[in-house]
Amino acid sequence: MALEHAILVSLLEKPGSGYELARRFERSIGYFWTATHQQIYRVLKRMENDGWVDARDVPQQGRPDKKEYSVADLGRAALSSWLHDPIEPESVRHDLAVKIRGAAFDDPAALIHEVERHRQAHRDRLTHYLAGQARDFTEPAARPADPGAPPDAERELQHAVLRGGIAYERMMIGWLDDVLATLARFGPDR
């Protein structure tokens, strides 16, 4: 399980409450990991008991108070140990691929709308990623002032992961176009 590690990474990038983490998991972290607030609260509690994170009550005005979490030494050590542990290349699960193979035993043409819907969802995500890239990773005019500056690992690696998301969405759009062309060959309702 890596949810706890995903949380550690997110908290290292910026401390926050369970609620804030849940929203990050809907956005940037959600590019490659999903989690509901239930999961996050449960795991945060366990991590606090294990001493991986420290909690701090933060009174707020205009909204309910929150518990802000930050990574403790034990959490940093746990993350480091996990990073040095090899993991197996993840197994994929594509409902849509099951549907495509299943369509041979039903009506292939009926799947066209579903595939188009998915294609659109991937287009939307791609647009969103590209906007994020333009916003956060456009070099602000070639920094000539400090040519030998050390590269910022956090930022560079975030960008590398985002490029992965972009490559993934482009691949999916291309493949779904391929699938649509294949489905079209079976004509309407046969």
What residues line the site for its own copies (CB under 8 A)?
2, 5-6, 8-9, 12-13, 30-34, 76, 79-80, 82-84, 86-87, 89-106, 108, 110-111, 114, 117-118, 121-122, 151, 153-154, 156-161, 163-164, 167-168, 170-171, 174-175, 178-179, 182, 185-186
126 binds DNA (CB under 7 A): no
* DSSP per-residue string spanning 122-176: HHHHHHHHHHHHHHHSS-STT-TT-TTPPP-HHHHHHHHHHHHHHHHHHHHHHHH
Residue 45 touches which of DNA, its own copies, none (Cβ within 5-8 Å per kind): DNA
When asked if residue 3 is in the footprint of DNA (CB under 7 A), the reply is yes
Question: CA-CA distances (angstroms) from residue 142 to 138, 139, 146, 152?
Answer: 10, 6, 10, 15
Question: What's at 83, amino acid-wise?
Answer: L
Q: If binding means CB under 7 A, how many residues of this protein chain bind DNA? A: 27
Is residue 118 at the binding interface for DNA, with CB under 7 A as the rule? no
End-to-end CA distance of the chain: 45
For residue 128, the tally of other CB atoms under 10 A from its CB is 14
Neighbouring C-beta atoms of residue 119, cutoff 10 Å: 18
Under the criterion CB under 7 A, does residue 91 sit at the interface with DNA? yes
Tell me which of DNA, its own copies, none is bound by residue 13, counting a contact when its beta carbon lies within the kind-specific cut-off of 5 to 8 angstroms: its own copies
Q: By C-beta, is 59 or 150 nearer to its own copies?
A: 150
Residue among 65 and 102 whose Cβ is closer to its own copies: 102
How far apart are alpha carbons 48 and 69 in whole angstroms?
Answer: 9
- Please give the residue ranges that form the binding site for DNA (CB under 7 A): 1, 3, 17-20, 22, 34-39, 41-42, 44-45, 60-67, 91, 93
